[in-house]
Amino acid sequence: MDLPYAVTYKKRKHNKKYEYSNNNIDRSNHTYLDFLSYLHETPTQNVWQLDFLGSMKTDSKNILTFMLPIVHFTLLDIIDQPNSKKVVQFFDDLERAIGTEAFMDLIPVILTDRDPCFNDIEGICFSKITGEERCKLFFCDPYVSNQKPHVENMNKQLRKFFQKHRSIDHHTKNTVRKHNITLLNTPIKSLDGYTPKDAFIAVYGEDLFHKFFGIVKDERK
């Protein structure tokens, strides 16, 4: 139930590597080893995983996947012409919706890959409201996607709604929100048959759930 695509996996060929064009970004204190060190010092922290689903080169839109593995909670957003500014706006919207204190408590650590859209470390990590640090951001090593396996698996599951090699440009905020609701209301075996929505509300409360989920609405300019 948790790995519906496992039976279709074939041995991967590693003869082609995906290369991002932002290797000159200074990620000092934000590497995967820094992440492991930070978790050793603060092992009780929530760790969110962040990624883009991936779309056709001709598409103008992409799906942002933001996941808290401990409760299988996933927040999806579709972003037109995604860039680092719009990713920062996504987190600014979250902070305004749930409040700075709740943001710092719920989202202390984010782990992602080296996509250029995630390269504004200061913009993501620091609050526009208080000017203080609101979260920690760490990057996986190049070509090691299994360092964030939960969001990678979720992206596989999302292919039920957003098929590979097909355009997603016709999708809207509303259709993405509907698919997100379907995911959150799907019982998970590792949650003893409860849904991710049930688990999130049990831990963090229903009010925070609705505020958190409510940010997927208006387009970001």
Neighbours of 64 (CB within 10 A): 20
Token duo for residue 166: 């097909």
Question: What distance in Å separates the CA atoms of residue 85 and residue 88, rounded to the nearest whole number?
Answer: 5
136-139, strands of its sheet edge to edge: 73-80, 61-68, 47-52, 109-112, 136-139
Q: Are strands 109-112 and 136-139 parallel, antiparallel or unpaired?
A: parallel
Token duo for residue 220: 């970001």
Could you give the domains of the chain?
A: 26-213 (3.30.420.10)
pLDDT in tens, 124-159: 999 999 999 999 999 999 989 899 999 999 999 999
Q: Give me the torsion for CA of 21, 9, 144, 121, rounded to 10°.
A: 60
pTM, to two decimals = 0.87
Residue with tokens 């719009």, as numbered in its chain: 86
pLDDT in tens, 25-63: 889 999 999 999 999 999 888 999 999 998 888 999 999
Task: Report the pLDDT value the prediction gives residue 20, as an integer from 0 to 100.
Answer: 56
Closest Cα to residue 144, out of 120, 124, 114?
A: 114
